[in-house]
Structure 1
């Protein structure tokens, strides 16, 4: 009894606590380290509660970085013990705790995910979690019904969590999960569950599986997963919204057949509203999804995105304190400003504001990646037929391009040279006047200097 209490105490102390975990690893009792003692408590002849709690201790210490993920005490002892806890023979509570702990153990480690997926037919074993209670109609006792429904929710939640961890990285594992009996139907049903915890776990599972190009093209399309997902996005707590909007980002990639129907169901308005959220993750996901949506899109969609966002909101996002929001917004602008007719059309309606935004960023205290992305946007504008005049008539911007051509960072020099190259392209009308103006500014001298550069990319350009 005392040992159990001590185990529970260690399990709680070590959870997400690297300092405590490192201390525990170095503790020894009668010449044995604590992890070795915990491993002995995992043995099959020990009480189930002791096995489970020892596995939780070792899991917490592993996730906190105190035990390596390839340590034999994890791979050969902890992981198989937790898989055993998921079997039909175990009590419902043990199956829930076993699956949730295993999901946490393997969540970030590809190798552990692979090992777990081939241990004791785990993927098929988890499908049984959805078959409880076996028959609701036979239950007449209301208390019993309540108890059974609670366990049914917990089992489904645990199964979704573990499937999400298993499928986080490996394409073959995702395929196995999706091919498990009625799996996609179960996930789709999970999205409309009354229990928020089950809904969240189902969305997490869907998000994990949506990383598969193959599945986006097949199972996700066959089951029209985008419909219930859009429904979830209409009205859900933030923690569900964050995962659901991340999943939507994947469903909007250019090769996904769901992209078209999602667009038709009013997604632009929804995503534009997410970009105004107080919640950082939602702002990032909103703009990320719009960026994916704008990639190689037709002009109407691009115009709808710009209209939905409004210039004011675009500026708001470009001055966001979070670099991730800023990078995704620049990515969106870059995707909007691709192909000449689109560049010219967008710059004819929003040119002044976009040039203003570009100037602000190039003047601001931003990192190399942000400035490089901004110069690439300028290079796209310079590729327009009429749009390039917005650069040629803006001496401030031209001076900035000149400045970045001589910058100490080669990436920025290269991006600035793309701008110049697009401005002076010989086969276009007015190229001679543009070349003369740039020559007068001293651009040719810089190009001569760069042609002697030791960097082959700069030299070639």
Structure 2
């Protein structure tokens, strides 16, 4: 039947019973028929009529036929839930019609109604909650990307990149908008953003979480767990869920808690955390027995583990609370309370460990994810806790490797993301994984996925997420293990062509993961010099960064260049949205790789210069996203290390003296300020006397000295003081005018004296070098002699006496050597050397 006929049949139904019959016919027509779903959703009048049925009936209507009214709501909810699974063609009209709001209002009304029995409520709630879940989860997938990887679409937030715990507030701009712009109209973006946050509004959150207290039916709990686990990605959402506490008033419908057998918490933990741990413990078979008489519902356990994993990720306080949580028996006594330490039977982490080792695959994977997040958030402070965490990590690695050998593509995607998180920042685990042939297995998966995708035997979305997950896992395994990096670089059949192709993938997640792997490989000098050059990956990284910045504007945070032009979004709207961490994932990974690629020994340094890389990096120092700006500064610092004069001029002229002055000033972000001083340190360290003079004149002598004095004060962080004093040591190699200008400032003399007294050897070294450069005569003379003028200036500071003390007491060989050198200058005329900051990798 056509939409017009459908609407006529529904609106002209002679009775509620007839209307119910017609709704069931529509439901049967819609389910399994994608085009019919689109037709229904796009018919505004029909959709409005359906939504009108999701209103709590008036007292008069209820008194006439409550049961039929509830059935009408149930059938309508099933239809709405089915419409939500198609994609943006149906989501757009559903969101523009405020369907989530209608569902939430109805759920609230029904939960508080006094004339509805518990049986009637438990019959209708699953339909309404599933419809709400379908709409909001589909919306999240549309705007944020898939929960496990980005997928074929160019979306951002779903990346599983290591080190990124949660995304930033509300809706991201830039890449996320640019990615979804072709499929998501700006007119309903606000509706989607509001819908994703609607369940965390206080009244709605109270309604939904009260259902967890009042009902134990899996059909009610499952959609709630799945809904929350998908939407707590935003910090504000997670805070709202964790801060909710049980209302003091009883439920309006008079229901007692059917979960009264769930034990009380053993520590002060949020309601949702305690609820999840209690439910998982009661539903889980332990040592062949059950805490519940019901057969475990694996889907429900999986969903509760997923939600717990999402909540504890990156939250040390929650990790600590979960570790100390113990299960109580029904009589209120703690199981195994006489044990000197918690046993796996009573202690939650032990229960999770058991679930990882045995059970259905979906539960094992969910438990592995949850346990990984708990341990990564906090390994414990006591030695016993840390030892146990290490043991569990190796158990997790063992089980993940086993599962990777046997499970299907979708499961492997999850396992790769979990593996990447598990071994990140843990060199020992990366080594252990290599010993288990994990890199070889992942390479086999990557090559197989690419081959099957080329044959058309692999779904594009799943193929993209598989590539992303596998590349990311390889990157984590190689980040701190040189043998794995070499294995990947020299593998046969070769892997690097796959990495090269991934750098230009239409999937943002694949490009990001490929960048991470390239970054890991670039940490080995031999690979950087040969494999990354020969494969073209190094040059492609430069081109990739240019493409990403070009598609996203110039990266400096101006509204005209943040991707907003593609969506017609005004400046005022952008001001209301924060920039998400993950919209810069590719750029951050690419610039981190460039930090290694432009080291002084790298042949790719010339490629960057040829491709306009300096202009690009200078522009990125203005990015509002600190990690991206920091990496750009770090790369520029490496470019200037042991550089030619023409390169140094290119950097300063491109960045501009005013910008460099700002980066050196207290107004700059501290991390960028440190890098700026190290960059200036490199500019001076490779310069002759005349170039030093020109650079000082370009800065402005007084302004430069003031910036150095501000950064070298005792009230500043040591990380900033070190490069600032090194700049002083470089300036001391300039002409007599510059040296005299330095020592006429009492602040400079005090800075050097204080640095010698500092407990930090890293501060003493540049101070000693500065003194030597000031005191030692010009190296162009035939013989080096101390400058008597300088000796006289430093006479009150008793340098000889202090140098002898440093030589006798210092445990640092560098400090001792520098002290001996300066003492020799004072007494026996020794040679002097300059310094520059070392080229560092990221």
Residue 721 of structure 2: aligned partner: 371
Query: Structure 1, residues 45-100: CA drift from partner, whole Å, max 9, x if none?
Result: x221122122222212221225647647524532122112222x422111111111
Residue 392 of structure 1: aligned partner: 740
Q: Tell whether 2:598 aligns with 1:252.
A: yes
Query: Structure 1, residues 411-431: CA drift from partner, whole Å, max 9, x if none?
Result: 556534433322332355799
Residue 316 of structure 2: aligned partner: 18
Secondary structure, aligned partner of 1:27: coil
Residue 325 of structure 2: aligned partner: 27
Query: Structure 1, residues 2-50: CA drift from partner, whole Å, max 9, x if none?
Result: 3552453244323333333333333344541223322332345x22112
Between 70-79 and 179-188, the greater mean CA deviation after superposition: 70-79
Secondary structure, aligned partner of 1:453: helix
Residue 289 of structure 1: aligned partner: 635
Q: Where does 1:22-421 land on structure 2 (aligned, <5 Å)?
A: 22-29=320-327, 30-31=335-336, 32=345, 33-43=347-357, 46-66=359-379, 68=386, 71=389, 74-87=392-405, 89-132=406-449, 134-135=451-452, 148-180=459-491, 181-236=493-548, 237-319=583-665, 320-339=667-686, 341=688, 343-351=689-697, 353=699, 355=701, 356-363=703-710, 365-384=715-734, 387-393=735-741, 396-397=744-745, 399-407=746-754, 408-409=757-758, 412=763, 415-421=766-772
Give the whole-Å Cα distance in 1 for the aligned partners of 2:387 and 2:299.
25
Secondary structure, aligned partner of 2:671: helix
Give the whole-Å Cα distance in 2 for the aligned partners of 1:153 and 1:108.
25
Q: CA deviation at 1:171?
A: 0.5
Corresponding pairs, count:
449
Flag the 1:308–1:23 CA change in 2: closer, same or farther, 3 A.
same
Flag the 1:297–1:8 CA change in 2: closer, same or farther, 3 A.
same
Flag the 1:232–1:69 CA change in 2: closer, same or farther, 3 A.
farther
Flag the 1:72–1:380 CA change in 2: closer, same or farther, 3 A.
closer
Give the whole-Å Cα distance in 1 for the aligned partners of 2:455 and 2:501.
23
Kindly indicate whether the alpha-carbon contact (under 8 Å) linking 1:83 and 1:99 is maintained by their aligned counterparts in 2. no
Give the whole-Å Cα distance in 1 for the aligned partners of 2:659 and 2:684.
18
More relative contact order in 1 or in 2 (CA 8 Å, sep 6+)?
2
Give the whole-Å Cα distance in 1 for the aligned partners of 2:784 and 2:486.
58
Kindly indicate whether the alpha-carbon contact (under 8 Å) linking 1:302 and 1:336 is maintained by their aligned counterparts in 2. yes
Kindly indicate whether the alpha-carbon contact (under 8 Å) linking 1:327 and 1:370 is maintained by their aligned counterparts in 2. yes
Q: Tell whether 2:304 aligns with 1:9.
A: yes
Residue 142 of structure 1: aligned partner: none
Give the whole-Å Cα distance in 1 for the aligned partners of 2:632 and 2:389.
40
Between 71-80 and 151-160, the greater mean CA deviation after superposition: 71-80
Flag the 1:12–1:438 CA change in 2: closer, same or farther, 3 A.
same
Kindly indicate whether the alpha-carbon contact (under 8 Å) linking 2:643 and 2:686 is maintained by their aligned counterparts in 1. no
Query: Structure 1, residues 232-256: CA drift from partner, whole Å, max 9, x if none?
Result: 1113252211111010000011122
Give the whole-Å Cα distance in 2 for the aligned partners of 1:149 and 1:265.
32
Q: CA deviation at 1:224?
A: 2.4
Give the whole-Å Cα distance in 2 for the aligned partners of 1:122 and 1:451.
53
Flag the 1:18–1:368 CA change in 2: closer, same or farther, 3 A.
closer
Kindly indicate whether the alpha-carbon contact (under 8 Å) linking 2:442 and 2:474 is maintained by their aligned counterparts in 1. no
Kindly indicate whether the alpha-carbon contact (under 8 Å) linking 1:116 and 1:122 is maintained by their aligned counterparts in 2. yes
Kindly indicate whether the alpha-carbon contact (under 8 Å) linking 1:272 and 1:286 is maintained by their aligned counterparts in 2. yes
Give the whole-Å Cα distance in 1 for the aligned partners of 2:664 and 2:408.
54
Cα RMSD between the aligned structures? 2.9
Flag the 1:192–1:414 CA change in 2: closer, same or farther, 3 A.
closer
Secondary structure, aligned partner of 2:585: helix
Q: Tell whether 2:774 aligns with 1:423.
A: yes
Q: CA deviation at 1:395?
A: 5.5
Q: CA deviation at 1:107?
A: 1.0
Give the whole-Å Cα distance in 2 for the aligned partners of 1:157 and 1:281.
22
Between 431-440 and 264-273, the greater mean CA deviation after superposition: 431-440
Kindly indicate whether the alpha-carbon contact (under 8 Å) linking 2:298 and 2:360 is maintained by their aligned counterparts in 1. no
Give the whole-Å Cα distance in 2 for the aligned partners of 1:197 and 1:420.
52
Flag the 1:451–1:230 CA change in 2: closer, same or farther, 3 A.
closer
For residue 441 of structure 1, the aligned residue among 769, 787, 793 is 793
What TM-score, normalized to structure 1?
0.87
Instruction: Identify the structure with the greater helix proportion.
Output: 1
The gaps in structure 1 that reach 5 residues or longer are 140-144
Kindly indicate whether the alpha-carbon contact (under 8 Å) linking 1:39 and 1:73 is maintained by their aligned counterparts in 2. no
Give the whole-Å Cα distance in 2 for the aligned partners of 1:221 and 1:17.
40
Flag the 1:156–1:451 CA change in 2: closer, same or farther, 3 A.
closer
Q: CA deviation at 1:333?
A: 1.1
Residue 161 of structure 2: aligned partner: none
Flag the 1:49–1:452 CA change in 2: closer, same or farther, 3 A.
closer
